């Protein structure tokens, strides 16, 4: 038997020898080599996902620091720390430890602020990233499941933010928990029991802070981390989407490899994100719990609202009327075991908008695929203007959310602008119904107008602003032909047609197929056709006016 080693390579440096030792036993170099060769396209809108990832890393680092000093106990104590205005005040141990972190732990207040700003940045970047994916159609096959993972991440981000926001046990966070308690109790039959279990008795109970603490530092972050790993794994498996352009197809990716170009840029971008959050934390106070005092169920602070990502639920509760004419939203329903009260003016606004938005969010990839009957793989993104219906739906949903968000500050709007609170509420109620409709109509018209403008630019060229006088005295503006790169972006896109309802193999027209046909007409009845090569050739021979009028659908007037 020979004792000659199989691997004759001996690294020259100590670090190299360690790396070679690990690689020879794990085979990690093949994985690193494969991942390092992965190509990622370069576009500024892809950075929102990176901001979310880096914000989460900062959340983990700052949260670990805070965990060392925070005590999630609701036991009563008397404050004897550095903040003089609250000396001797009775409060929970959780609130006292939050004050100690802010005033007695070196760097504690800065880390609290970093954690809070990073949380806001995380939810905001996930939200904007999801909007970018929706408007560009990046959720289509094969990325439907990754879209669902992103939706779960968004819900978990809001859950992590709310559980952390409630931990200090101050007056503001306690009022937020009181609202949650009311929503839970409005659930028919089982709501009261859920509330008693969650709070450890009648509100505020003695267990809620400890239970939220477990959720905030253990369960929710672990699931978020799992979702991030799944999301990144799917990005690598499916390859990254890219914006349309010459040479960019569903079979390739035009961009830079992970190593060393993308890795270096990503590392630098992480420190930029960290620096921005540090500047915000160092110069802008957020959630000054010492101004609110410990939680007491009796007082309610005026002019307060939760963080923006939870405010839309509060706004829905504010907009909901208690009665509508003679109809009361509080109904007593008799069951065999007795009467139960259905508090619909709390249950409907708390759960209705959330179920509507999240239901559409999670099911939209399958709805669009069903309506279009398009089961192809899509790796090239849409320009939002080239999908007018989808873009209009997204804007309508955004206006719907922002209306509820604004309603959470209805009292501040009334006091700052010195108008009646009732008038603000009435206008916001009207905007709740009319805003999404108007937003949908206007956005769809704008997208179609932009498509017509793109068509005109392709056929006539770009306006140069130069006027030329012809020999017979006529003045004309000179147009410059587009370069191939810009022209490709304006003429190569998916243009879906209306697919009428079709009978099945037995010749029957089902209700489901009739509904799909109506939705297809709603989606694509108004559209502008892309310029065809024949039309482009005709335009170059001086027939641009004729082909422009022939290229638009009959429903698009000129």
Closest CA to 91 of 196, 163, 184, 173: 173
CA-based diameter of the chain, in Å?
A: 101
- Lowest average pLDDT, out of 295-304, 358-367, 462-471, 537-546, goes to 537-546
Q: Running DSSP on this structure, what letter comes out for residue 357?
A: H
Assign 6 a pLDDT band (cuts: 50, 70, 90): low
Where are the extended beta strands (E) located within 64-170? 76-78, 90-92
Backbone angle region of 88, left / alpha / beta, with phi > 0 → left and psi within -120 to 50 → alpha: left
Residue 307 in contact with residue 165, Cβ under 8 Å?
A: yes
Q: Tell me, what's the pLDDT at 542?
A: 59
Exposure string over 487-522, b if 16+ CB within 10 A, otherwise e: bebbbbbbebeebebeeeeeeeeeeeeeebbebbee
Does residue 458 contact residue 484 with C-beta atoms inside 8 Å?
Answer: no
- What is the C-alpha radius of gyration for the chain, rounded to an integer number of angstroms? 29
- For tokens 């004792």, what's the residue? 3
Q: Is 281 exposed, middle or buried (0-12, 13-18, 19+ CB in 10 A)?
A: buried
pLDDT of residue 29 exceeding 70 = yes
Q: Is the pTM of this model over 0.85?
A: yes
SS3 readout for 41-77? CCCHHHHHHHHHHHHHHHHHHHHHHHHCCCCCCCCEE
Return the top range by mean pLDDT from 10-14, 20-24, 201-205: 201-205
Query: pLDDT band at 8, cuts 50/70/90?
Result: low
Dist. CA 386–CA 391, nearest whole Å: 9
Please report the pLDDT score of residue 3 as a whole number: 55
Higher local confidence (pLDDT), 545 or 41: 41
Select the highest-mean-pLDDT range: 254-268, 407-421, 486-500. Answer: 407-421
Nearest residue to 393 via CA among 343, 460, 457, 442: 442
- Strand duo 475-480 + 39-40: pairing: unpaired
Check whether 202 has a pLDDT greater than 70: yes
Lowest pLDDT segment from 139-148, 340-349, 508-517: 340-349
Q: Tell me the three state secondary structure of residue 419.
A: coil
* Residue 534 CB partners (closer than 8 Å, separation 6+): none
* pLDDT tens string 108-121: 999 999 999 999 99
Which region among 61-75, 243-257, 430-444, 479-493 has the lowest average model confidence (pLDDT)? 479-493
In this prediction, residue 62 carries a pLDDT of: 97
Residue 446 has pLDDT above 50, yes or no: yes
Of 372, 364, 379, 317, the residue nearest 344 (C-alpha): 317
CA distances from 211 to 62, 379, 555 (A): 20, 43, 58
| Percentage of the chain exceeding pLDDT 90 | 60
pLDDT at 4: 52
Q: Which tens digits make up the pLDDT trace of 72-90?
A: 999 999 999 999 999 999 9
The whole-angstrom separation of Cα 171 and Cα 306 is 12
C-beta separation of 381 from 242 below 8 A: yes
Looking at residue 189, what is its pLDDT?
Answer: 85
Weakest mean pLDDT among 256-270, 282-296, 377-391 = 256-270
Q: 363: exposed, middle or buried (C-beta count within 10 Å: 0-12, 13-18, 19+)?
A: middle
Q: What is the pLDDT of residue 553?
A: 46
The alpha carbon of 337 is separated from its chain's Cα centroid by a whole number of angstroms, namely 44
Q: Tell me how far apart the alpha carbons of residues 201 and 190 are, in angstroms, rounded to a whole number.
A: 15
Residue 270 has what pLDDT?
Answer: 94
Could you give the CA distance from residue 328 to residue 322 in angstroms, rounded to a whole number?
A: 7
Q: Rounded mean pLDDT of 369-379?
A: 94
Average pLDDT over residues 20-43: 81
The DSSP code for 294 is B
DSSP class of residue 483 equals P
User: Roughly how many angstroms between the first and final C-alpha of the chain, as a whole number?
Assistant: 88
User: Does residue 556 contact residue 526 with C-beta atoms inside 8 Å?
Assistant: yes
| Nearest in space to 49 (alpha carbons), one of 127, 116, 118, 120 | 127
CB 210 within 8 A of CB 339: no
Predicted confidence at residue 550, as pLDDT, reads 46
Query: For residue 483, what pLDDT is reported?
Result: 84
Answer yes or no: are the C-beta atoms of 405 and 308 closer than 8 Å. Answer: yes
Question: Above 50 in pLDDT, residue 42?
Answer: yes
Query: pLDDT band for position 26 (50/70/90)?
Result: confident
pLDDT tens, residue by residue, 399-409? 999 999 999 99
CB 456 within 8 A of CB 393: no
Closest CA to 125 of 242, 276, 281: 276
Among 2-11, 30-39, 200-209, the range of highest mean pLDDT:
200-209
């Amino acid at each position: 038997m020979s004792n000659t080693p199989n691997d004759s390579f001996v690294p020259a440096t100590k670090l190299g020898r360690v790396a070679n030792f690990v690689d020879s036993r794990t085979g990690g170099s093949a994985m690193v080599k494969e991942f390092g060769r992965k190509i990622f396209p370069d576009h500024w809108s892809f950075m929102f996902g990176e901001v979310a990832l880096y914000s989460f890393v900062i959340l983990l680092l700052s949260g670990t620091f805070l965990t060392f000093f925070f005590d999630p106990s609701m036991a009563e104590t008397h404050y004897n720390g550095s903040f003089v205005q609250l000396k001797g005040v009775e409060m929970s141990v959780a609130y006292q430890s939050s004050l100690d972190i802010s005033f007695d732990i070196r760097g504690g207040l800065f880390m609290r602020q970093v954690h809070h700003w990073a949380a806001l940045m995380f939810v905001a970047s996930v939200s904007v990233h999801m909007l970018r994916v929706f408007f560009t159609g990046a959720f289509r096959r094969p990325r439907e499941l990754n879209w669902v993972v992103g939706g779960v991440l968004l819900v978990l981000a809001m859950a992590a933010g709310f559980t952390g926001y409630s931990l200090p046990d101050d007056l503001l966070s306690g009022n937020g928990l009181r609202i949650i308690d009311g929503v839970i109790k409005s659930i028919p039959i089982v709501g009261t029991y859920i509330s008693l279990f969650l709070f450890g008795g009648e509100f505020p109970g003695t267990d809620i802070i400890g239970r939220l603490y477990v959720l905030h530092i253990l369960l929710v972050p672990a699931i978020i981390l799992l979702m991030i790993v799944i999301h990144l794994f799917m990005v690598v498996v499916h390859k990254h989407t890219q914006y349309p352009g010459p040479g960019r197809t569903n079979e390739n990716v035009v961009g830079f490899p992970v190593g060393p170009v993308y890795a270096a840029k990503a590392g630098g971008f992480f420190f930029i994100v960290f620096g921005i959050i540090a500047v915000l934390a160092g110069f802008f106070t957020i959630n000054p719990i010492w101004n609110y005092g410990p939680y007491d169920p009796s007082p309610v602070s005026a002019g307060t609202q939760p963080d923006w990502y939870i405010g839309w639920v509060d706004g829905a509760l504010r907009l909901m009327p208690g009665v509508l004419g003679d109809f009361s939203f509080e109904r007593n329903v008799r069951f065999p075991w007795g009467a139960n009260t259905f508090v619909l003016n709390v249950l409907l606004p708390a759960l209705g908008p959330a179920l509507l938005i999240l239901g559409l969010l999670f099911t939209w990839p399958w709805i669009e695929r069903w309506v279009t009957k398009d089961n192809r793989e899509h790796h090239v993104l849409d320009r939002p203007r080239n999908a007018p219906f989808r873009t209009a739906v997204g804007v309508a949903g955004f206006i719907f959310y922002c209306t509820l968000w604004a309603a959470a500050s209805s009292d501040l709007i009334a006091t700052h602008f010195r108008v009646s609170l009732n008038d603000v509420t009435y206008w916001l109620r009207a905007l709740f119904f009319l805003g999404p409709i108007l937003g949908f109509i206007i956005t769809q018209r704008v997208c179609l107008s932009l498509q017509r403008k793109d068509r005109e630019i392709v056929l006539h060229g770009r306006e140069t602003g130069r006027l030329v006088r012809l020999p017979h005295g006529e003045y004309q503006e000179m147009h410059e032909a587009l370069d191939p790169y810009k022209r490709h972006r304006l003429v190569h896109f998916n243009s879906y047609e209306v697919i009428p309802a079709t009978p099945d193999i037995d010749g029957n027209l089902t209700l489901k197929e009739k509904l799909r046909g109506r939705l297809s007409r709603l989606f694509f009845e108004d559209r502008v056709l892309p310029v065809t090569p024949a039309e482009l050739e005709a335009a170059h021979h001086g027939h641009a006016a004729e082909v422009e009028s022939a290229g638009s659908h009959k429903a698009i007037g000129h």
